[in-house]
Amino acid sequence: MYKVGDKVRIRKDLIVGNLYHDEEIVVDAMLDYRGITTTIKDVAGEDLYFLSCDHGCWYWPGKTLIPIGYINFDKIKEMSMEELAKFLCEKFSHGIGEDLILKWLRQKAE
């Protein structure tokens, strides 16, 4: 969940018609904003946001956004594989799934 003022990047891989939230889909006009770094202007609902880049024109589901900001690498180093998989899933997976990320991490560790 984001809050007003958070910096985010709009995902480059958005697909018109995809359902990224319960009822919110991406439309053609939203594709112009792919890859843009912007700011959360307002919270529109549960995991729905208005962005500065489009002057609050569209509802942007959280799954269409990538967080921009500081990551505490010392904290990450101390995480178990399971904790790291959950963290990566919440922050960056865009629906890939925690189990798949954990499997990938375990393969990398071997």
Enter the DSSP assignment of 19.
Answer: B
C-alpha pair distances (Å), 110 with each of 34, 44, 93, 98, 99: 36, 44, 22, 19, 17
Give the global pTM. Answer: 0.62
The answer on 62 and 45 residing in a single domain is yes
* Domain contains 2: no
Residue pointed to by tokens 């609050």: 56
Across the range 74-85, mean pLDDT stands at 80
Domain that holds residue 104: 73-109
DSSP 100: H
Which tokens belong to 51? 């962005």
> Over the stretch 8-22, which tens digit does the pLDDT of each residue have?
999 999 999 888 888
**Is there a domain that residue 1 lies in?**
no
What pLDDT, in 10s, does the model give residues 23-75?
Answer: 778 899 999 999 999 999 999 988 899 999 999 999 999 989 988 875 666 77
Q: Who contacts 61 (Cβ-Cβ below 8 Å, separation ≥6)?
A: 20, 21, 24, 47, 48, 49
Q: How many domains does the chain have?
A: 2
Instruction: Indicate whether 78 and 60 sit together in one domain.
Output: no
Same domain, 63 and 77: no
